[in-house]
A and B are shown apart, each in its own frame.
Chain A
Amino acid sequence: MDQKPMNFWERMYFPAIFQGMAITFKHMFKKKETIFYPEVEREFSENWRGLHSLKRDELGRERCTACGLCALSCPAEAITMIASERQKGEEHLYREEKYAAVYEINMLRCIFCGLCEEACPKEAIYLDGPIVPADYLRKDFIYGKDKLLEDPIASDLTLNI
């Protein structure tokens, strides 16, 4: 490769150095790009896929019927569940006759592809949550229903049977 020999000013280094230093000095007063993460969160795009949430219907009942399609569709095999039959008197808790007694997602395996929410016939799972927080132990990344399930809606809306 041919390299053009430096002329006198370039050999002096100083003009170029002063130019560069002026540029960096200007940057000192520019607006900082930092987002102070735990306190401030970046605005997510509309199709952002974050932490999963198991949805309830308009009467506060769990929508999931433990069909297992989400686990089947999961390319990372992150979802496991144990199905159970709805007993008499539990109609206000579960919408369908079968429900997931245990529903676990391993957040270290999950790749947040969103295939589970596409597979779900009951619109029971959505990846609409925040960023999965950091933790110290691997076992703490297996999220059960206690962390995934949506908060129950106000009690006066729940169905009394």
Chain B
Amino acid sequence: MELAFVLEKFILITVIFLVSLGVAAYSTLAERKIAGYLQDRVGPNRAGPGGMFQPLADGLKMFMKEEIIPTDSNKFLFIAGPSLALLTACIGSAVIPWGPNIILGGKTIALQVADINVGVLYIFGVVSLGVYGLMIGGWASNNKFSLMGAVRAASQSISYEIPMGLSLIALLLVTNTLSLKEIVEQQHGGNWNIIYQPLGFIIFLVCSFAETNRTPFDLPECETELVGGYHTEYSGFKMGAFMFAEYLNMFVASAVMSTLYFGGYNYPGIDWVSNLVGPIIGPLIAMAVLFAKIFAFIFFFMWVRWTVPRFRYDQLMNLGWKVLIPLAIANIVISGIVITVYDKFF
């Protein structure tokens, strides 16, 4: 029993790890394809049919490139930076429920690595750890531009974590639990949290753009001002690790948003479908629905990136502190009042 449990979790972790790496790799291709289509081009199409093997070619290129470590850099931290970025990006997916339980031969298999009862806090903690990779990498490069990028990453992360946390508090008033599994179960069918927390979702969405350092909040690495920001001095696979971490973060952020606000693996008519196709295919369909939501969010991230220009730094700070935080607090107050009134009188 113990061994079976360990084996089950090990397989689940391996699969999730590989899938998220695959999604991140193909996000790079998707990004370039979408960028192309939005700009009336076709994007990469030479490596394999429709450019299918472009991520492999890019990965090979990253491996083959010369790895330059600047002379005056702190070598240990220089290597630790991208490693940490990649690590924190990978562990975020541990608490996300990928699908309902599968019942296989009288045994229940949970499609979630760890159903910890503070799942939301765990996600939040991992997301805030993510910025350390960028900070350490930027500082260890011993380069003015890298340091500027690192400082921007840190201050941006701090500024946008506050409204993100506050928008989550309003969500928790609705759900009454921190466990992601329970939050998803509460949104059974079409009863998604977006209906109760539309403003909270918009705040969370804007903040997750900032937390993943995507345009319009990509100030830590803005090419026009800071060469490459925190990864100016990086080359070869370490550079690839930073890029990979960005796409992994995007995947995890999309999964979290789908889970918290868009019902996770729930879809209207889930009961009817799972009665129809049985206890094994049903959860797999639910999982496919979750992935469809995730891919829709990833597309949205890319769509925004190739539409909206980068904010100026003061605009970024104004938006964070003077708009999003008051909005998030107002959202908490309104949600609290509405919930109290509803509980008292209905």
Known: A17-B308, A21-B308, A27-B38. 18 other contacts (CB 8 A): A13-B319, A17-B307, A20-B308, A21-B304, A21-B307, A23-B307, A24-B38, A24-B307, A25-B38, A25-B303, A27-B39, A28-B34, A28-B38, A32-B37, A32-B40, A32-B42, A33-B40, A33-B41
**Which residues of the partner chain A approach B39 to less than 8 Å between Cβ atoms?**
27
In the bound complex, how far is the Cα of B53 from the Cα of A150, in angstroms?
41
* CB-based A-B contact count at 8 angstroms: 34
In the bound complex, how far is the Cα of B303 from the Cα of A17, in angstroms?
11
Q: Are A27 and B304 in contact (CB under 8 A)?
A: no
In the bound complex, how far is the Cα of B131 from the Cα of A130, in angstroms?
53
Q: Judge if A34 is at the interface, Cβ distance under 8 Å.
A: yes
21 A-B pairs in the complex with CB atoms less than 8 angstroms apart? A13-B319, A17-B304, A17-B307, A17-B308, A20-B307, A21-B304, A21-B308, A23-B307, A24-B38, A24-B303, A24-B307, A25-B38, A27-B37, A27-B39, A28-B34, A32-B37, A32-B40, A32-B42, A33-B40, A33-B41, A34-B41
| Most A-side CB within 10 Å, residue of B40, B42, B303, B304 | B40
Q: Judge if A138 is at the interface, Cβ distance under 8 Å.
A: no
Q: Judge if A30 is at the interface, Cβ distance under 8 Å.
A: yes
Q: Write out, one digit per residue, whether chain A residues 19-52 have a CB within 8 A of any chain B CB (1) or not (0).
A: 0110111011011111000000000000000000
**Majority SS at the chain A contact face:** helix
In the bound complex, how far is the Cα of B40 from the Cα of A7, in angstroms?
33
10 shortest A-B CB distances, which residue pairs?
A24-B307, A24-B38, A28-B37, A34-B42, A20-B307, A21-B307, A33-B40, A32-B42, A34-B41, A27-B38
Q: Are B40 and A30 in contact (CB under 8 A)?
A: yes
**Which residues of the partner chain A approach B295 to less than 8 Å between Cβ atoms?**
none
**Which residues of the partner chain B approach A31 to less than 8 Å between Cβ atoms?**
40
Nearest CB on A from B118, distance (A): 33
In the bound complex, how far is the Cα of B40 from the Cα of A25, in angstroms?
11
Nearest CB on B from A34, distance (A): 5
Chain B residue nearest to A32 in the complex (CB): B42
In B61-92, which residues have CB < 8 Å from any A CB? none
Q: Are B40 and A27 in contact (CB under 8 A)?
A: yes
Nearest CB on B from A103, distance (A): 36
In the bound complex, how far is the Cα of B304 from the Cα of A17, in angstroms?
9
**Which residues of the partner chain A approach B42 to less than 8 Å between Cβ atoms?**
32, 34
**Which residues of the partner chain A approach B308 to less than 8 Å between Cβ atoms?**
17, 20-21
**Which residues of the partner chain A approach B34 to less than 8 Å between Cβ atoms?**
28
Q: Judge if B26 is at the interface, Cβ distance under 8 Å.
A: no
Chain A residue nearest to B34 in the complex (CB): A28
In B26-41, which residues have CB < 8 Å from any A CB? 34, 37-41
In A50-109, which residues have CB < 8 Å from any B CB? none
